[in-house]
Amino acid sequence: MFKKTLLAIALGGTIAATAQAGEVEVLHWWTSGGEAKSIAVLKEMVNDAGHSWKDFAVAGGGGENAYTVLRSRAVSGNAPASAQIKGLEIQEWGDLGFLADLTPVASSNNWDGILPAVVSDVMKHDGKYVAAPVNVHRVNWMWANKKVLDDNGIKPPKNMKELWAASEKLKAKGITPIAHGGQPWQDATTFESIVLSVGGADFFNDVFVEHDQKALESKTMKESFDEFKKVKSYIDKGAPGRDWNVATSMVIKGEAAFQFMGDWAKGEFSAAGKKPGTDYYCLAFPGTDGTFTFNIDSLAMFEQRNDDNKAAQMKMAELILSPKFQDVFNMNKGSIPVRLDQDMSGFDSCAQASMETFKATSAAGKGLVPSMAHGMSTTSAIQGAIYDVATEFFNSDMSSDEAVMKLSRAVRAAQ
């Protein structure tokens, strides 16, 4: 018996020592409280599998900074093993020939069977998996401090009209209605939710996916800009340059009533020990109930020369799709799992509602739209052009008519 135990320990030791050789360097921008807690789960699982994790975090919401660093590392021939790359960016890196083929892991773990097509399509380049999806974020949310709303006799606004009425009431009492961070990607996040609210899902697709000039020059587009400008009268003076998680903490602390942000904001509420329905409300962005703007986070894998590092990278890809990782990561992150077969019973009411809307909109083939602000709907060049116009409009006295003209021109030029 004793001999057997010794043998088992020795064998276990050998296996661990062999596997230990692999290292996986991961570039990401998950640095806020909720985000860091989420990614720590993957690090732990990679370490437990006998490999080592090299953290390469580049702060900056929305990922612009991380992308810049990634580009400079890649052109100097020193790309990390894995990087947080999303949507059409994956195609751009795949076209350049940087990404590794994950087919063996994907086939043996039946990724095609467990992932909805809307997710797996984004992860493939030339029909082969090159990235592992970690989650699905919904972007068209509005977060609200329940006590601020209750104390002021305000019901959760269901449409833009109710939102402005509530904001006017709060402003009159000296309360900041909307916590905003004035950074281009946050302006774009708000703008796209407004376009969805004003024009609906088909219009959103016409503008941000099809780039249809008629839609871009339409009255609905002008109206969207009109609504977008209204946000400005309900934000505070500290908004320019503010990080998104700082804006979330204003709502958490009751220093502002609302924030328009994807459900990574929920990760901050959770990390602060706040509960939906008791401390805060997760609400569909006014006028967008029943629709879902999706933003899928993924870790793309770069070609590796070293076999041990390749093994570590493939192991990490496998772990990402495991039910355990999908559970813990997404509970911390505020998102929903990518696996359609995931048990949702441990998730909060916001995540359950999100999953329901995700499934319903994908089954109906209606109401599920890719986020422009988060790289799902269009190329980085067109996304950049839209960011520029939205931000310039928001921060100047440009008229909505002029913004419509500028936007349609900028999109055309970037195509």
Rounded CA-CA distance 232/228 in Å is 8
> What is the footprint of ligand BGC within residues 336-375 (CB under 6 A)?
374
Residue 203 or 244 having the CB closest to ligand BGC: 244
Residue 320 main-chain phi, psi, to 5 deg: -60, -35
Q: Which listed residue (25, 35, 227, 268) binds ligand BGC by CB under 6 A?
A: 35
How would you label 269-285 residue by residue, b for 16+ Cβ within 10 Å and e otherwise?
Answer: bbbeebebeebbbbbbb
Q: What is the smallest separation between the CB atom of 244 and ligand BGC, expressed in angstroms?
A: 6
63 binds ligand BGC (CB under 6 A): yes
Q: Contact, 314 vs 112, CB < 8 A?
A: no
- Rounded CA-CA distance 365/101 in Å is 30
Q: By C-beta, is 264 or 347 nearer to ligand BGC?
A: 264
Which listed range, 57-65, 193-201, 206-214, 278-286, lies at the site for ligand BGC (CB under 6 A)? 57-65
Query: Which strand (E) or helix (H) includes residue 53?
Result: strand 52-57
Quote the least distance from Cβ 309 to ligand BGC, whole Å: 25
206 touches ligand BGC (CB under 6 A):
no
To the nearest whole angstrom, how small is the minimum distance from the Cβ of residue 37 to ligand BGC?
12
Instruction: Please tell me whether residue 227 binds ligand BGC under the rule CB under 6 A.
Output: no
Minimum CB separation from ligand BGC for residue 307, in Å?
Answer: 31
Q: Which amino acid is at 5?
A: T
DSSP string spanning 340-379? TT---TTS-HHHHHHHHHHHHHHHHTSSEEE-TTTTSSS-
Point out which span in 56-64, 156-164, 336-344, 396-404 binds ligand BGC (CB under 6 A). Answer: 56-64
Q: With respect to ligand BGC, which residue has the nearer C-beta, 137 or 146?
A: 137
Enumerate the H helices of 183-306 as residue ranges: 184-208, 213-216, 219-231, 244-253, 264-271
Site mask for ligand BGC (CB under 6 A), range 115-144, x = bound: ----------------------x-------
Determine the residue with CB nearest ligand BGC.
Answer: 264
**Are residues 276 and 348 in contact, defined by beta-carbon separation less than 8 angstroms?**
yes
What is the CA 36 to chain-centroid distance, rounded? 14
Query: Could you tell me the strand order of the sheet in which 176-178 lies?
Result: 176-178, 256-260, 141-145, 280-284
Which residue among 61, 80, 94, 157 contacts ligand BGC (CB under 6 A)? Answer: 61
Sequence-distant (≥ 6) Cβ neighbours of residue 242 within 8 angstroms: 180, 181, 182, 183
Tokens of 349: 């009411």
Helix axes 323-333, 33-48, angle to 10 degrees: 160
Give min distance, CB of 86 to ligand BGC, in A: 6
Site string for ligand BGC, 71-110 (x = CB under 6 A): ----------------------------------------
Tell me the site size for ligand BGC, rule CB under 6 A: 11
Site string for ligand BGC, 265-304 (x = CB under 6 A): ------------------------------x-x-------
Strand partners, 283: 142
CB of 61 to ligand BGC, least distance (A): 4
Binding piece for ligand BGC, criterion CB under 6 A, among 41-49, 58-66, 337-345, 353-361? 58-66
Residues that bind ligand BGC (CB under 6 A): 29, 35, 61-63, 137, 244, 264, 295, 297, 374
